Chains A and B, each alone.
Chain A
Amino acid sequence: MKKIVVACGSGVATSQTIASKIDSMLQDEGIKASVEAVDIKSLDNIIDQVDVYVKIVSGPTNYDIPTINGIPFLTGMGRDAEFEKLKEYLK
């Protein structure tokens, strides 16, 4: 099963909101994947096991794995496009 990780400042509120949203969107489409919310500080330690990284924070750090933008899942603007990208990465 592919692993999706969302990271925010505490690994609790914002990242979990997006993770729940993505999880329910994937369920609606019958796609199986695990979605996890984590603390951005612990991202370095687990990034090797991650298939898609959902990025919320701006900033210098980039990882060498498929990355999508998490903000549209909060605002609704451009959400479908990001979700399509995510589905591509999960194939």
Chain B
Amino acid sequence: MSGLQASEEDVEEQLRTFMETLTDSEIYREFVDASEALDEDSEASALLREFQEKQQRMQRDFDQSLMSELQELQSEMDDNETIQRHREAQEALVELLQETNDVISEQIGREFAQSTGGGCC
């Protein structure tokens, strides 16, 4: 076995441990629970969908009345417990993932996070 192969296996093992620890963390579990709660809450899901649709329309064509509707929807979303729970859980998870990226990037002396989305915007 070459040195590189051995190194790759060590990396794979640590990667598995990292992913297992991450998905077993309280922060990740709360994100999953909050996502499921959002999926099961038809009122919250509809509110979120309506907001996203109007936001996309707004990006294509600015309209003052649409802006007012968006502000009203935003206010409703701010008052919606399920949406707020999901938002907070998502923010906590993103913050944790960013911290893991900082830790790993420091070790390897370059940015660990790679964009794999295949294109921007």
A binds B: no
Measured CB to CB, the residues of A under 8 A from B are: none
Measured CB to CB, the residues of B under 8 A from A are: none
